[in-house]
Amino acid sequence: MTSPGANTAPHVPVLVNEVLAALSLHEGDTAVDGTFGAGGYTRAMLAAGAGQVIGFDRDPDAIAAARTLFPDPRLTLAEECFSQMDRILVERGIGLVDAIALDIGVSSMQLDRPERGFSFQGDGPLDMRMSQSGQTAAEFLNTAEEAEIARVLRDYGEEPRARAIARAIAAARPVERTAELAAIVRRAAGFRPGQKADPATRTFQAIRIHLNAELEELEQGLEAAERALKPGGRLAVVTFHSLEDRIVKRFFRERSGGTPAGSRHRPAIVDQLEPTFARVAKPVSASERELAANPRSRSARLRSAVRTSATPRNPSLRERQP
């Protein structure tokens, strides 16, 4: 998706044909593109005959670009988090939809602009906020306890040297620039030039996931999709690393009648619940051809399933209120 230093590289959609196949759109269907980005999936949905596409993105830049570059009357844009999709669809009088796609992560436009602070390939302010609101990466790194930074690096970056890196960040505060952070991480992790994997990758990923609450968004987005789909509706989700893929895999397993798994917050439910999803497809990875054309597709994984007519497991907050 991104090539270092390339400022204008367009976002190349990943697994788009496979996503379309999983969505199996019929002429006139209503579809949600939960992660609009540069609109690669939306374009494909419209070309496949969708009658209406609702494109969500939490990044105001993505929505602003779409408004000027994408004048299609069948497209409705929403500058919102996809975890809110069921509520927004009701508020806009759209109701239940036939298909939903989620393409998790950051876009080339976000990564390739140093001023967004997502990448250490160019130097920029430590920002990393998809929605351009809330706490910046610099604010987090300069105010959080060292132990909290270490936890974030371990939990969201699977960084084995999390404590050493957190200690080095705390000692160097204030940290304001992406290049500064990358240099601190490389020193703390013992990085040598020429070494294959740059340790800064894991730290940047971890901070980004934490600041944007990406795993919570994914969990809530899957539940929102369950509420937003018609019976027979299709859900396709593309992820780029194992933390995300695990969430999607577990969700489909639980919802399709597999072993119910509890979480820290919610104990395992032992009674039999009616499956809300069926026909869970085997995970799909990029073909050799796509890999050759777009190296970023290497870690991409698509999971998909079809909604049944069963009641959603978690009613929306509004429904829960007395």
Ligand X SMILES: C[S@@+](CC[C@H](N)C(=O)[O-])C[C@H]1O[C@@H](n2cnc3c(N)ncnc32)[C@H](O)[C@@H]1O
Q: Assess 41 for contact with ligand X (CB under 6 A).
A: yes
Select the residue interacting with ligand X from 2, 30, 52, 107 (CB under 6 A).
107
Rule CB under 6 A: say whether 111 interacts with ligand X.
no
Three-state SS annotation for the chain: CCCCCCCCCCCCCCCHHHHHHHHCCCCCCEEEECCCCCCHHHHHHHHCCCCEEEEECCCHHHHHHHHHHCCCCCEEEECCCHHHHHHHHHHCCCCCEEEEEEECCCCHHHHHCHHHCCCCCCCCECCCCCCCCCCCHHHHHHHCCHHHHHHHHHHHHCCCCHHHHHHHHHHHCCCCEHHHHHHHHHHHHCCCCCCCCCCHHHHHHHHHHHHCCHHHHHHHHHHHHHHHEEEEEEEEEEECCHHHHHHHHHHHHHHCCCCCCCCCCCCCCCCCCCCCEECCCCCECCCHHHHHHCHHHHHCEEEEEEECCCCCCCCCHHHHCC
Q: Which stretch binds ligand X (CB under 6 A): 105-113, 147-155, 196-204, 246-254?
A: 105-113
Contact between 303 and ligand X per CB under 6 A: no
Lay out the site mask for ligand X across 43-72 (x = CB under 6 A, - = otherwise).
Answer: -------------xxxx--x----------
- Quote the least distance from Cβ 318 to ligand X, whole Å: 19
Partner residues linked to 32 by β-bridges: 54, 100
* Smallest distance, ligand X to C-beta of residue 60, A: 9
Quote the least distance from Cβ 108 to ligand X, whole Å: 8
- Smallest distance, ligand X to C-beta of residue 147, A: 27
When asked if residue 239 is in the footprint of ligand X (CB under 6 A), the reply is no
Stretch of 35-43, 144-152, 202-210, 229-237 lying at the interface with ligand X (CB under 6 A):
35-43
Q: Which stretch binds ligand X (CB under 6 A): 21-29, 37-45, 111-119, 276-284?
A: 37-45
Which window, 68-76, 88-96, 101-109, 198-206, contacts ligand X (CB under 6 A)? 101-109
**Residues in 69-98 at the binding interface with ligand X, rule: CB under 6 A:** 81-83
> Which residues are within 8 A (CB) of 276 and not within 5 positions of it... i.e. 6 or more apart?
226, 255, 256, 307, 308, 310, 311, 312, 313
Pick 102 or 188: Cβ nearer ligand X:
102
**Residue 206 binding ligand X, by CB under 6 A:** no
Q: Is 38 in the site for ligand X (CB under 6 A)?
A: yes
For residue 40, state whether it binds ligand X (rule: CB under 6 A): yes
Q: Does 23 bind ligand X (CB under 6 A)?
A: no
Q: Which amino acid is at 138?
A: A
Complex with ligand X: residue 130 or 149, whichever CB lies closer: 130
Residues in the site for ligand X, rule: CB under 6 A?
11, 13, 35, 37-41, 56-59, 62, 81-83, 103, 105-107, 130, 217
